[in-house]
Structure 1
Amino acid sequence: MLVSAVIFDIGNVLIEWNPERFYDAEIGRARRERLFAEVDLHGMNDRVDRGETFRDMVMETAAAYPDWTAEIILWHDRWIEMARPAIDHSVRLLRALRAGGVPVFALSNFGIQSFELGESHYPFLAEFDRRYISGHMKMAKPDPEIYAAVEADCGVPPEALLFADDRTDNIRVAASRGWQTHLFEGPEGLAKRLVAEGLLSEDKAI
């Protein structure tokens, strides 16, 4: 079936997401490696992505690890510095698709409050036709339930969806449900895929 809607992940597809890089610059790589080995910061963030309050989760974790309190609080206070820069070519693809009349959705693991912060810095996050944000949905990729919820809401048959995500586990579940998928390894590859699907002309995909 021909693709009739494109679904974008956000982190590392439209916006670079690299907490390790931020902490390397702030506290040095060796200390960052110790921090991430001793404190499950990504697990903390997963709870935020599933709907728990951003500040509460960070402060709870900071209180549990007094040797790392200041460093953990940076996750909240300077979060936007971990989520940058925008991947400009991907943003252009998003806008070109919409300009051409192709419905474009977001499906992203993102906390409620952190997504609001992201919106304040990246206006294109308001430009999707539909947004499926895990914090609001109280479920996250790669849980099959979040894909089922998208299918139930969007009105597009699974086989007519093209989903771009940078993680193989997320792609694998989408493919198992019949979605067409693209493992994102850079905007150039996604541009070529969109051209191959007949969704964009080569000049619009630049």
Structure 2
Amino acid sequence: MTIKAVVFDIGNVLIEWQPERFFDREVGGQRRHEMFANVDLHGMNDRVDMGENFTDVVMATADANPDWAMEIRMWHDRWIDLASPAIDRSVRLMAALQAKGVPVFSLTNFGIQTYDIAAERYPFLRAFDRDFISGHMGVIKPDAQIFEMLEAATGLAGEELIFTDDRADNIAAAAVRGWRTHQFTNPEGWADRLVAEGLLTEEESQ
């Protein structure tokens, strides 16, 4: 069956998302390890990705954890530094696909407010043919519902879609639905897969 659309995750596919690296740099590895062991920061971020207000969630978490309040507020005030830099070759691959008339969709765990912040820094986030942003959808990957919602909205399913994501659980959830999948580890591997699928030439994939 012919691939009719390419679906991109964003974090660690188009933009690096490494909060631990940011805090290692800012507060040191030991302090960071202790903070992540004592505060469920990824759970906090999941709430934002589910559609709760970014500022409200982060500030409430800071207030509830006074020993770590300064660092937690950095998650809010310097959020764009956690979500950086762009992965340039992936961005070029997205543009190359669209230049050939291949629709490109996002399917991303991202908050409503944080997506707007990111799009100011990274204008390519406004260039998808269709956006599927968890904060607006009220569900996050790897819940089967988010994949069902994309299928229902686009009329595409199974092998008509190829999806890349850095997380194995998200890839597995898509594969269960019959999607073609590629677990992203670097843009070179993703470029090779797009060439192998006949979506881009070697030259176009650079």
TM category (shorter chain) comes to: over 0.9
Structure-1 separation of matches of 2:117 and 2:141 = 21
Which amino acid is 1:171 matched to? Answer: I
Report SS of the residue matched to 1:132: coil
Q: Does 1:90 align with 2:79?
A: no
**TM-score, with length taken from structure 1:** 0.99
Superposition pairs of residues 70-109 of structure 1, within 5 angstroms: 70-109=70-109
Aligned-partner SS, 1:110: coil
How big is the shift at 1:43?
0.4
- The corresponding residue for 1:188 is 188
Match in the other structure for 1:178: 178
Give 3-state SS (helix, strand or coil) of 1:14's partner.
coil
Give the Cα–Cα distance (whole angstroms) in 2 for the partners of residues 187 and 154 of structure 1: 26
Q: CA deviation at 1:17?
A: 0.2
What amino acid does structure 2 have at the position aligned with 1:16?
A: E
**Partners in 2 of 1:133 and 1:158 — Cα distance?**
20
> Within 1, Cα distance between the matches of 2:2 and 2:193?
13
Unaligned runs of 5+ in 1: none
| Aligned length in residues | 206
Bigger shift: 149-158 or 134-143? 149-158
Partner SS for 2:2 = coil
Partner of 2:29: 29
Higher mean C-alpha deviation, range 152-161 or range 138-147 = 152-161
Q: Distance in 1 between matches of 2:2 and 2:166?
A: 22
What CA distance in whole angstroms lies between the structure 2 residues aligned with 1:157 and 1:176? 11
Task: Extract unaligned runs of 5+ from structure 2.
Answer: none
Deviation at 1:158, TM superposition (A): 2.3
TM-score, normalization by structure 2? 0.99
Q: Is the 8 A contact 1:2 1:197 kept in 2?
A: no
Deviation at 1:154, TM superposition (A): 1.1
Identity among equivalent pairs (%): 62
- Whole-angstrom distance in 2 between the partners of 1:40 and 1:172: 24
TM alignment of 1:1-206, pairs within 5 A: 1-206=1-206
Secondary structure at the aligned position of 1:181 is classed as: strand
CA RMSD of aligned residues (A): 0.5
Q: CA contact under 8 A between 1:182 and 1:190: conserved in structure 2? A: yes
Write the distance in 2 (CA, Å) between the matches of 1:104 and 1:34: 40
Q: Aligned-pair distance for 1:2?
A: 2.0
Contact in 2 for aligned 1:97/1:104 (Cα 8 Å): yes
User: Equivalents in 2 of 1:24, 1:160: separation in Å?
Assistant: 41
Report the secondary structure of 2:132's partner residue.
strand
